[in-house]
Amino acid sequence: MKPPEGLCDWPDYTNLYAWLKVATKGLSDDSRARIRDEITDHFQQALDDGMRAGLSEDDAAQRAVEGLGSPKSARRAFRRTYLTRWQANIVRSFVDARKPTTSSSILSTALDAERGWRRSWQGRLLLSAIMVLLVASRTALMNQHLSLREWQLHIGIVAVMLVATSVLAAVPRIFRNGRERMAIALGSFAELVLWGGFIIAPEIGPFSRTINPPGLSFWLAGVLFIVWAALHLPLLLKLSRRQEST
Amino acid sequence: MNLKGTLPVLILQVLSAGERHGYAIAQEIKESSRGVLDFKEGSLYPALHAQEKKGFITSVDRSYDGRRRRYYRLAKAGAEALDVHRHKWRQLSLAVTEILGAT
C-alpha cells in the first residue's frame, strides 16, 4: 500500500496506512492531514517504545497499530467532530463567494461570469438575480392568463426569491463575523428557497393545469427537500453541537 | 475497564498538570490508573479534537525529532469544566459508596 501523501520517506508500515485510510475515509483533506500527522507521530512513539522494550521492528509496529484499536470506531468518532468532504464543500461554497453555490453553479458554468468580478459577493448576487429573473420571465411566458390571485402568488414567490438572493450574498460576511452556524443555516435555507421557487412557480397557473401532470412540481419540490435535508441537516447539527459547548 | 464517557474528563485532568502530546496523555491515563483504565489509543484523538472544538483545550504544532508533534494545553473553559466534573463525580462517588457500603 502506498504511504499517504507527505509520508513518502516513511518505511512501508502497511498496517498503519491501512488504519489511517479507513479511519479518515470521507473526511475533508484538512482534517485527514491533521489526523494523519498526529496518528503517525503517535505510532512512531509507540514503535520506538516497543523496540526499546526489546521487540523487533515488525512486532513493535504490529503492536502499535493494534493499540490504536478499530479504525471504524475511530472513523465514527472523527465524523462526529469533523466535517466530511461533502460538508466541507458546502461550507466552502457559502464562505468563499467566488465558488458557486449549488443553485448558481449551473449559471456560473454557463456564463463563467463570477471569476471576473472584483468583489465576489457581486458575482453571487448577479447569478442569483439572473435565476430570479428566469423564474419571473418563465412564469410570464408560460402563464399568459393568470388570475389576480395567481399573479399575487407569483409576485410573492419572486419576492421571497429576491430576499433569498440577498441573504445568499450576505452569508460570507456573516460567516467572517464569527456567526458560523447562522451563516450556514441562512445560506442553506436561501438555497432551498431559490430552488423551491424555481420548481414551484410554474405549477401555479392555467398552463400547469392543462399541460403538466398535476402536482408534478410539488413532487419535485418534495424530492428537493429530502436531498437538501440529507445534505444540510447533518452539517447544521454538527455545527450546532460545536457552538452549544463553547 | 470500559472508559465510555469518562475519557474527555480524564484528558482534562491529565492536562491540568501541564502541556502534553497525545501519546503522553494516553500513557499517563493508563499508568495513573495502574492499568485498570485501558482503552484503545485510536479513540483518544477524536476525544481530544472534540475537546479542542469545544474550546476546553488548545493545541500547538511543534517539531520533535524531525517530525511534527501536536501538544495540548488546558484552556480556562476546560479548567472550569473540570471543576464541575470533579464536584459531580465526588457527589456520585459518595452516593454510590453509601449505598454499596450499607449492604
Task: Name every chain B residue with its beta carbon within 8 A of the beta carbon of A38.
Answer: 22, 45, 70
Contact B79, B16 (CB under 8 A): yes
Sequence letter at residue B13: Q
Contact A22, A71 (CB under 8 A): yes
CA neighbor of A107 nearest in space, from A145, A133, A68, A78: A133
What is the C-alpha to C-alpha distance for residues A83 and A91, in angstroms, rounded to an integer?
9
DSSP secondary structure letter of residue A212: S
Report how far apart the first and last C-alpha atoms of chain B are (Å, whole number).
24
Residue A110: half-sphere exposure toward Cβ, Cα within 13 Å: 8
Contact A93, A99 (CB under 8 A): yes
User: ipTM score here?
Assistant: 0.87
What is the C-alpha to C-alpha distance for residues A203 and B56, in angstroms, rounded to an integer?
52
Nearest to B46 among A40, A44, A81 (CB): A81
Contact A42 B55 (CB under 8 A): no
CA distance readout (Å), A52 to A124, A154, A184: 59, 76, 50
Torsion of CA A17, A19, A20, A21, to 10 degrees: 80
Q: State the count of interchain CB pairs (< 8 A) between A and B.
A: 72
CA neighbor of B45 nearest in space, from B14, B68, B11: B11
Sequence letter at residue B72: Y
Bridge partners (DSSP) listed for residue A84: A27
Q: Please report the pLDDT score of residue A174 as a whole number.
A: 84
Residue ranges of alpha helices (H) inside chain B are 7-15, 22-32, 44-53, 76-102
The low-confidence residues of chain A, meaning pLDDT below 70, are 1-14, 96-128, 131, 135-146, 201-215, 217, 241-246
Q: Please report the pLDDT score of residue A92 as a whole number.
A: 76
Which pTM was predicted?
0.69
The low-confidence residues of chain B, meaning pLDDT below 50, are none
Q: State the burial class of residue A189 (Cβ atoms within 10 Å of its Cβ: 0-12, 13-18, 19+).
A: middle
Contact B23 A45 (CB under 8 A): yes
Contact A19 B40 (CB under 8 A): no
For residue B64, give the 3-state DSSP assignment.
strand
Contact A131, A198 (CB under 8 A): yes
What is the C-alpha to C-alpha distance for residues B42 and A192, in angstroms, rounded to an integer?
38
What is the C-alpha to C-alpha distance for residues A126 and B7, in angstroms, rounded to an integer?
50
Contact A8, A60 (CB under 8 A): no
Task: Name every chain A residue with its beta carbon within 8 A of the beta carbon of B69.
Answer: 41
Question: Helix A29-52 to helix A14-23 angle, to the nearest 10 degrees?
Answer: 150
Chain B residue with CA closest to A69: the answer is B40
Cell reading at A70: 478499530
| Average pLDDT along chain B | 88
What is the C-alpha to C-alpha distance for residues A39 and A35, in angstroms, rounded to an integer?
6
Contact B11, B25 (CB under 8 A): yes
Q: Please report the pLDDT score of residue A161 as a whole number.
A: 81
Chain B residue with CA closest to A243: the answer is B54
Nearest-CA distance from A16 to chain B in Å?
Answer: 11
Rg (CA), chain A: 25
Q: Please report the pLDDT score of residue B65 as a whole number.
A: 81
